[in-house]
Structure 1
Amino acid sequence: MFDLNSFIAKYVVKRPQSMFLKDIENNHETLNSKIGGKKILVIGGAGSIGSSYIKAILPFKPKTLVVVDINENALAELTRDIRSTRGLYVPDDFVPYPMDFASPTFEKMFRKRGGFDVVANFSAHKHVRSEKDIFSVEALLQNNVLHAKILLDLLEEFPPEEYFCVSTDKAANPVNIMGASKRIMEDVIFSYSDKFPVKTARFANVAFSNGSLPAGFLARISKLQPLSAPSDVRRYFVSPEESGQICMLACMLGKNREIFFPKLEDAQMMTFDTIARELLKEQGFEVLECETDEEAIDKAEQLKNGSKKYPVHFSESNTSGEKPFEEFYTDTEKVDMNRLNALGIIVDKEISDRDRIEKLFSELKEEFEKEETTKNKIVQIIKDYLPNFEHIETGKSLDSKM
């Protein structure tokens, strides 16, 4: 029987156990004091990273766990999952809410509870494909940047002991709007760091996370559809379990205005076609390489007749916003590689200039109100704010490919 966690450990991250176990063991007492008996709010908690964060903190026995997510079905599955996991502690005050964190309803709930000791925000547009056109770009920036201010203004009234918001490796020298939005988000949360402690983490790809290409491989195989993947895009990967542990360690052990990232080396980068090949082999198939999406789709019909030759189309990337490799920090950022065993930390970040951020927000809102605004205009506004934003535009979106 196929075991996804075993496959990830063997073929993707190539580690038999979490790379963060030593850091958790070494800091167990601190983690217990930061989590045990505390009121914790997790926004976007039904997603891959948010749910893994919840599973990481529950053994330390928080008093309250409130989970907010707009995905009602995923929230229901999260609740079933944690209630069905043998030995997993669940506090009496556990409430999953299907609601938007930027809504008046959320604010009412938050105020009624008098705030929280720990707030972790995982709500985000996380895919490069989210920048198809001006409408998708606006939705991305609203969620990742503009709505963040609504939450932070509320937290300013009810300062938490810890605030964590997930970033991305694509925020370092960004080449796509998603990565740039997360880099701006870092500035936004740091602009509130004189009011309460804020921390974040730049992530590797989470293997087989919801909506990811590897998760798509499993969906395609279940439907006997062909696989497609870039052959030249190299990415860092962590397991779902590790993703939650990164966030827990950053949130609870981090100092104000610090950015955490996993200590991964270039040799640990993987290409998506390599993962697809290993997955098909593990499922008992032989890879059948095709020249086009259309050829792969046609040959997939043979799978319905029991063929063990699985059609794939692997090709070089030609879509907007794709870096050939990833990086966690820039040459201008100061890094501490010694404090923790498996996590590096970007330190000495300054409190961001709120006036400059407010100016950016005003420019974005004004531009979005225009009927004839364009994606290129938004890119220029972001470039004016982030001089190192080098947008890769090819005119082709991932949504145009299989």
Structure 2
Amino acid sequence: MINRVLHLRIAVVCHDSFMVWLAWMLCFLIRYSLWPESPPLVYWSTEILIVIVTQSIISFMFNMYRGLWRFASMPDLINLVKSASVGTLTIALFFFLFNRLEGIPRSVLLMYPVLLVILWGGPRITYRMWKDKYFNLRTKNIPRAVIIGAGNIADLFIRNAVSNKSCHVIFIIDDHSEFKGTQLRGVKIKSGINQLKQWVEDCHIDLVIIAEQKPSSDLIKSVVDQLAESECTIRVAPDPDDYENNLVNFNQLQPITVEDLLGRDKVELDWAEVASYIKNKSVMVTGGGGSIGSELCRQLARFGVSKLSIVDHSEYNLYAIDKELSESDLVVNSHLCDVTNHSHLFHIFKLAKPDVVFHAAAYKHVPLLESHACEGFLNNVMGTKNVADCCAEFAVDKMVLISTDKAVNPYSVMGATKRLAEKYCQLMNETVETEYLTVRFGNVLGSAGSVVPLFEQQIASGGPVTVTHEKIERYFMTIEEACQLILQSLVLGNENDVLVLDMGKPVKIMSLAERMIALSGKSKDIKITVSGLRSGEKLYEELHYDIETLEATRVQKISAVKHTHKQPHHLVQDILAGQKAAVKFEQDQLRKVLCKLVPEFKNHELQLLKSTQHTTEQQKS
């Protein structure tokens, strides 16, 4: 292998040296053809030897003998131009000092670099084009690909795909007018992204590559929807800035994710202010082993908090996040505790002495809590009350309650209990020094028990994928973004007690299921079944009440809820009444308490009717 490379480089040196001689001869030949009384052409002399040696040294300095002709490209051509230009200047300077350029016409020095670049570059480009054509004739066993986007990423990918024969690019699709009727590296550019489905079928395309920087979610959804019934694979080319070799390799192509379909723009946040506020503070996260809580712990670990106390009732979840964070220099204290246990929680607060508390511990599975209303009340309401009371007793600066869009006009026990938790924090805000902040948002992607992991599991097992209703919609955001905005809420001041995160546009669950199946490449095998709305489930979620007005804050994607009503002081007594019903497992009585405390709870009449009918049937039997 080494001998072969050495022989190739010797051949390149001989070729380039011969072209130097030929360029020099042609310059004199052209110059003397315009001069009737020209001297005879000298084909070899000491001067020519000096020209060849000088130009060869310059070429070596510019690494011209290291490049492979097989991959000759624009950077190589630029290198040729630099070498020829510097070589001409060096040759001219040498002969000027040696003999004042005697016998060397000025026109020769002007023509020489131009002819040399042509003689050097012509064979290289010709060889590259021949090789490309040679390999393109042998693409039967590699994927046939279409690229969407005719920019820099497409150029890099085609160059690399041809060199390693990973795929055969048939054509490029780009609707920008400046690319109409043009080619990129010999590949034709077409317009009309809406014709993608037909072209894929007609040309037997195996792979569609989206090669645009930060492709929009509309483009991704358009591609996925058109290819939903095909077996074509869809991939996204990465940003070449992420790779040292500046080439997009076939194995670097990324599958489209649900996050890509959402297309949420990344928000630049003011982390300096958050870091300044949170640094050297003792912070507690309840539910710290859950989806939201664990991500909050990860992000808090980056801000230099003095101590992080993690509270969770799940032994494994607590172990997992504790093990993950224990590798850092952060002081982490993990506590296996149920927030409904007030005495244990009081003991933990006494040990931790937190300055800031994030309360993320909650039951959130809507249908499950419909049949376990007592457990839902105790955890979501009494657990919140215990945490809020401890915050007041230990003079915590801020408590942040993680709420949900299901607390707005709740149709479920879960939503009603979260709304009641919001109300209690609002009441505490009116009576104690601790600042209570509620952050309300919709579903987060990938959280335990959410629809996206369920669909992924159903698709992996071959289906069917179950959707509860054709028209059901939900808001989505990533866990990382949600936690970033939650941390930003810390620095918005104490005039806002309820904040709402911008969730973008709601997503139709049926469309989400169809696109996830399309991305799996199993559209013909996996069916979608409509199972019907589950108990406590709404078709559409809301982020605020009609009587509430949203006002923009200085943090993008966070709005403040403005309201004038105050919470009644008998709220505490009513909550304790609900607790008595819950510990006795009196679900009907508990629902009556929830209806009194949350008048907008819309599901209660139906549930009471079902309960009454069930009781009547039992009595008859």
**TM-score, scaled to structure 2:** 0.53
Question: Do structure 1's residue 365 and structure 2's residue 574 form an aligned pair?
Answer: no
Given candidates 479, 494, 508, the residue that maps to 1:271 is: 508
Given candidates 189, 197, 214, the residue that maps to 2:452 is: 214
Question: Do structure 1's residue 190 and structure 2's residue 405 form an aligned pair?
Answer: no
Closer, same or farther: CA 321–248 of 1 in aligned 2, 3 Å = same
Closer, same or farther: CA 367–107 of 1 in aligned 2, 3 Å = closer
Identity of aligned residues (%): 23
Closer, same or farther: CA 97–366 of 1 in aligned 2, 3 Å = closer
What letter corresponds to residue 296 of structure 2 in structure 1?
Y
User: Any idea what the Cα deviations from partners look like across 1:160-189, whole Å, max 9, x if unmatched?
Assistant: 111101111111111212111111111111
Closer, same or farther: CA 179–251 of 1 in aligned 2, 3 Å = farther
What letter corresponds to residue 600 of structure 2 in structure 1?
N
Question: Do structure 1's residue 45 and structure 2's residue 288 form an aligned pair?
Answer: yes
What letter corresponds to residue 487 of structure 2 in structure 1?
M
Contact 1:163 1:251 in 2 (8 A): no
Structure 2: distance between partners of 1:93 and 1:170: 35
Q: Which has the higher helix share?
A: 2
Counterpart in 2 of 1:334?
549
Contact 1:64 1:91 in 2 (8 A): no
Given candidates 519, 524, 534, the residue that maps to 1:319 is: 534
Closer, same or farther: CA 76–5 of 1 in aligned 2, 3 Å = farther
Structure 1, gaps ≥5 residues long: 85-89, 288-308, 397-402
Q: How far did 1:254 drift?
A: 4.7
Tell me the secondary structure at the aligned position of residue 339 of structure 1: coil
Larger C-alpha radius of gyration, 1 or 2?
Answer: 2
Closer, same or farther: CA 369–269 of 1 in aligned 2, 3 Å = closer
Counterpart in 1 of 2:377?
141
What letter corresponds to residue 56 of structure 1 in structure 2?
Q
Structure 1: distance between partners of 2:519 and 2:321: 28
User: Any idea what the Cα deviations from partners look like across 1:199-228, whole Å, max 9, x if unmatched?
Assistant: 011111101211112111223344445321
Structure 2: distance between partners of 1:3 and 1:177: 44
Question: Do structure 1's residue 9 and structure 2's residue 247 form an aligned pair?
Answer: no
Closer, same or farther: CA 117–5 of 1 in aligned 2, 3 Å = farther
Structure 2: distance between partners of 1:105 and 1:386: 29
User: Any idea what the Cα deviations from partners look like across 1:314-362, whole Å, max 9, x if unmatched?
Assistant: 35x3322222111111121232125332111113566533x32122123
Given candidates 383, 388, 397, the residue that maps to 2:595 is: 383
Counterpart in 2 of 1:64?
307
Structure 2: distance between partners of 1:177 and 1:247: 25
Given candidates 99, 110, 127, the residue that maps to 2:349 is: 110
Q: How far did 1:246 drift?
A: 2.4
Q: How far did 1:65 drift?
A: 0.9
Q: How far did 1:14 drift?
A: 1.6
Q: Within 5 Å, give how 1:63-212 maps onto structure 2.
A: 63-82=306-325, 90-103=328-341, 104-113=343-352, 115-133=353-371, 136-193=372-429, 194-212=432-450
Q: How far did 1:32 drift?
A: 1.5
Structure 2, gaps ≥5 residues long: 1-250, 612-621
Structure 2: distance between partners of 1:384 and 1:42: 31
Closer, same or farther: CA 3–335 of 1 in aligned 2, 3 Å = farther
Which structure is richer in relative contact order (CA contacts within 8 A, separation 6 or more)? Answer: 1
Closer, same or farther: CA 325–105 of 1 in aligned 2, 3 Å = same
Structure 2: distance between partners of 1:172 and 1:3: 41
Counterpart in 1 of 2:522?
285
Counterpart in 1 of 2:497?
258
Contact 1:69 1:75 in 2 (8 A): yes
Q: How far did 1:387 drift?
A: 2.3
Closer, same or farther: CA 156–242 of 1 in aligned 2, 3 Å = same
User: Any idea what the Cα deviations from partners look like across 1:117-167, whole Å, max 9, x if unmatched?
Assistant: 11011000112113333xx10000000102222222222221111110111
User: Any idea what the Cα deviations from partners look like across 1:2-24, whole Å, max 9, x if unmatched?
Assistant: 9999613211x222x53xx32x2
Structure 2: distance between partners of 1:29 and 1:182: 32
Q: How many residues of Structure 1 are paired with residues of Structure 2 in the alignment? A: 354
Structure 1: distance between partners of 2:460 and 2:320: 20
How well do the aligned residues superpose, as a CA RMSD in angstroms? 2.7
What letter corresponds to residue 475 of structure 2 in structure 1?
Y
Structure 1: distance between partners of 2:455 and 2:254: 12
Q: How far did 1:233 drift?
A: 1.0
Structure 1: distance between partners of 2:512 and 2:486: 25
Tell me the secondary structure at the aligned position of residue 192 of structure 1: helix
Question: Do structure 1's residue 228 and structure 2's residue 463 form an aligned pair?
Answer: no
Tell me the secondary structure at the aligned position of residue 126 of structure 1: coil
Closer, same or farther: CA 369–39 of 1 in aligned 2, 3 Å = closer
What letter corresponds to residue 498 of structure 2 in structure 1?
I
Tell me the secondary structure at the aligned position of residue 159 of structure 1: coil
Structure 2: distance between partners of 1:264 and 1:365: 33
Given candidates 278, 284, 287, the residue that maps to 1:35 is: 278
Q: How far did 1:42 drift?
A: 0.5
362-371 or 34-43, which moves further after superposition?
362-371
Q: How far did 1:236 drift?
A: 0.8
Structure 2: distance between partners of 1:75 and 1:6: 32
Closer, same or farther: CA 33–203 of 1 in aligned 2, 3 Å = same
Counterpart in 2 of 1:399?
none
What letter corresponds to residue 359 of structure 2 in structure 1?
N
Closer, same or farther: CA 242–155 of 1 in aligned 2, 3 Å = same
**TM-score, scaled to structure 1:** 0.80
